[in-house]
Structure 1
Amino acid sequence: MNPSDNDDVDDKAPLWIYVNKIEKIVGGGSWRFECKFCNTTYVGSYTRVVTHLIQEGVKGIKGCLKVTPQQRDNMKKLVNDCKERIKRAAPTPVPLPSASRKASASSLDYDMSYKFPDTDEAGSKKRKGMDSALGKAFNNQAREQCDGEIFRMFCTSGLSFNVARNPHYRNSFVRASQIPGYVPPGYNALRTTLLQKERKNLEVHLQPLKDSWKHKGVSICSDGWSDLLDEPELEAIVFDGEDDNE
């Protein structure tokens, strides 16, 4: 069974149109899906769909024997066309501001990228390079580039400029500057590994306080709330920590 030509195509994952999504798997981006060509059911993410249909990408799934060479070529063309559309739709990079640029200079003449120097090369040339006028000029330009990137991070993420007053903001950059080749953590590391590590760290530091509740007591106060059962408002719950029946 061939997919309809009228199916909506997702440029980021165009080959989804060649399978039927049956059930979303909890805890990730995987689906239980059925191939429209061989009617076989599999479980996996989009990368497994790609491997099954055009036999490219990750392993761990059998290639579809019902797809003809012509159909496979058409799928590959579809994937390449979608990549080109995404590339054309990407925003055009805007050069960072620089005090060293002339006012009349075109933005196209400005180097928009900053290439990190090789650590070994930078270490061998550090003494004689940084003492020279050229080395100082390069250092100033690198500072301008870094300042511009940080400013754009604030603007494009909608961050308040008050974040710059956070002591961890400055400390993180000071620590990073002392580690050659350091790359900041990405999205997945922030939301998984680092989040879990910080939570455990806070629990360790809060444990002595929680232990004191058994002897000193704790009060949980609330302005009150209402739910679907219309329960009365909770004004205060007091735990005295004593073993009595009151």
Structure 2
Amino acid sequence: MEKLSSYTRVEAHLLQKGRLGISKCPNVTYEMLSDMRKEVERCKDLVERSKTRTVSLPTAPSSSNTADTNKRNKRGPVSALEKAWALEDRKHLDALICRAIYSGGVSFNFLRNPYLREAFAFACSRNMQGYLIPGYNRAREGLLKQERRHLETLLDSTKST
């Protein structure tokens, strides 16, 4: 069952969608009806086009399939060093990090932040399947309060002297 708000009731009345006892508007002509339907479609298209889309990165992650990793490329076969260091995956991760910085309008100095470096080193050294970064509300409310409490306890000894 569809929710009937005032908008959907007016839409059903004017666009002559006979639903759930909503009468069709007798004053709407065929030309007016076709114009309104075109306008509704145009607006739906605008909403669809305005949704955020991701743009592909210039680097792509390598697959875990060993047959693909042993393929010859322009420079020849993949070396043991490239396999060991996962150079393509590293390039892709660098591109993802930089895209996040560019799209968020964050200063390039943020890359020098030791806490950012520590976070990435921690994440890369552990296998945490399914981990998702904290969302907006969790970072803004819960984790911020937790960090503030932690800093206040660290500063208590300094304040008391």
TM-score, normalised via structure 1 length: 0.39
Quote the Cα distance in structure 1 between the aligned partners of 2:43 and 2:155.
Answer: 51
**Deviations along 1:100-149, whole A, 9 cap, x unmatched?**
xxxxxxxxxxx6xx69x9xxxx8xx8xxx5xx636939x33322222111
Deviates more, 1:200-209 or 1:140-149: 140-149
Quote the Cα distance in structure 1 between the aligned partners of 2:42 and 2:21.
Answer: 16
Across the aligned residues of Structure 1 and Structure 2, the Cα RMSD in angstroms comes to 4.2
Question: RCO higher in 1 or 2 (8 Å CA, sep ≥ 6)?
Answer: 2
1:208 aligns with 2:157: yes
**Deviations along 1:147-175, whole A, 9 cap, x unmatched?**
11111111111111111111111111111
Partner of 1:146: 93
Structure with a larger share of its residues in helix:
2
**Deviations along 1:190-236, whole A, 9 cap, x unmatched?**
00111011011011111112222xxxxxxxxxxxxxxxxxxxxxxxx
Q: Percent identity?
A: 31
1:69 aligns with 2:20: yes
Distance 1:150 1:202, change over 3 A: same
Runs of 4+ in 1 over 6 A off after TM superposition: 80-83
Residue-pair matches, total:
121
Give runs of aligned pairs for residues 80-229 of structure 1, distance below 5 A: 85-98=46-59, 129=66, 133=70, 136=83, 139-177=86-124, 178-181=126-129, 182-212=131-161
Alignment gaps of 5+ in structure 2: 10-18, 23-40, 72-81
Structure 1 residue 180: Cα displacement: 2.2
Quote the Cα distance in structure 2 between the aligned partners of 1:207 and 1:192.
Answer: 22
Quote the Cα distance in structure 1 between the aligned partners of 2:151 and 2:50.
Answer: 43
Quote the Cα distance in structure 1 between the aligned partners of 2:101 and 2:118.
Answer: 17
Alignment gaps of 5+ in structure 1: 1-14, 20-35, 37-67, 72-79, 99-110, 213-246
TM-score, normalised via structure 2 length: 0.56
